[in-house]
Amino acid sequence: MMNNKYLDSVRVMLGGEPRKMDASEFTEEAKTIHFYKKNETLDFVALKKEARAHQKKGKWLKRRWAALLAINLLFVVSYWFDIQILEGALTASRMLGFHLIDLNSALQVMLAHKHIIVNLFIGTGTVFVLWLLLGGRTFCSWVCPYHFLAENAERLHVWLVGKKIVTDHAFHRGVRTMFWALFALMAIITGYTVFETISPTGIVSRALIYGPGVALGWVAVLLMFEVFYSRRAWCRYVCPIGLTYGFVGVFSPLHVTYKLADCHHEGECRKVCEVPHVLDCVIKGRAPAAQLDIGADCTRCGMCIDVCPSGALAFEIKGLRKIM
């Protein structure tokens, strides 16, 4: 059962659809909760108002933006004032003497060189352990500078869709797995880290630290594509960083957890989630257990927690109580 949970999480992360379990697979506690929920009537208008009011507080949004901006600005301050706290950029850096190397970048370099580079393991080891503990894709929402730009572009996209000015175009999530394999294959064939050249994460990070360059034009093109055509297209369907870190976070003790009994199934969480497939369990009648950990593809951004009017979603460290 435990192994099936992890394997299913990986399958969904690779692009598979969340599995709709048969009622026979539900726990007895979940069956009881679903039974009592069947005939309940809720004032969804009132619930949505409550959710919107709660969303304005944005507790986790503020914390996350503060952390993301602080980390990226620390690179800038360290470089311009030569204080040697956090040197380099997100691709490769050194914090107080400890070498830190982005896992996906290290993988691309080794594939390009066609052999294992022992020195890279020194820098990736610390990073691997950090994101193993915090949840791999936490990097995406709490550290990646492109995520900050794309998140705000997403707000504009959603507004334009609401006004019927543009239409959102979705792609199959498995495309991201294909791009991950494609970038890996290109590194092997060309001997060059092709992805690092076009990665908006690296481009924005270096632009903040060393000054803007023409590569920011590519970032602008991506943002325009996401504003006018496809919501969060790069992060959802292309970026291999999210998939690489997702694998690291499969066994992370830090999760967003879902409590079935507290859920009103009003659906506000799925509307704000960057990866709404991970919240398939909140759809009425879907949850196979009374409490579930949201899967490895979750970015732990906390947006779903901010908008949940009933407290059914929360950050929890396995074996400990929930994080306030």
Sequence spans of domains, the chain = 22-56+254-317, 67-247
DSSP designation for 322: B
Q: Which helix (H) or strand (E) holds 139?
A: helix 138-142
Residue 156: burial class (beta carbons within 10 Å; 0-12, 13-18, 19+): middle
Q: Whole-structure pTM over 0.85, yes or no?
A: yes
pLDDT by residue (tens digit) across 233-256?
Answer: 999 999 999 999 999 999 999 999
pLDDT by residue (tens digit) across 135-147?
Answer: 999 999 999 999 9
pLDDT by residue (tens digit) across 268-289?
Answer: 999 999 999 999 999 999 999 9
As separate numbers, helices (DSSP H) first and strands (DSSP E) second, the chain gives 16, 6
Whether 44 contacts 310, CB under 8 Å:
no
pLDDT by residue (tens digit) across 188-235?
Answer: 999 999 999 999 999 999 999 999 999 999 999 999 999 999 999 999
Neighbours of 128 (CB within 10 A): 17
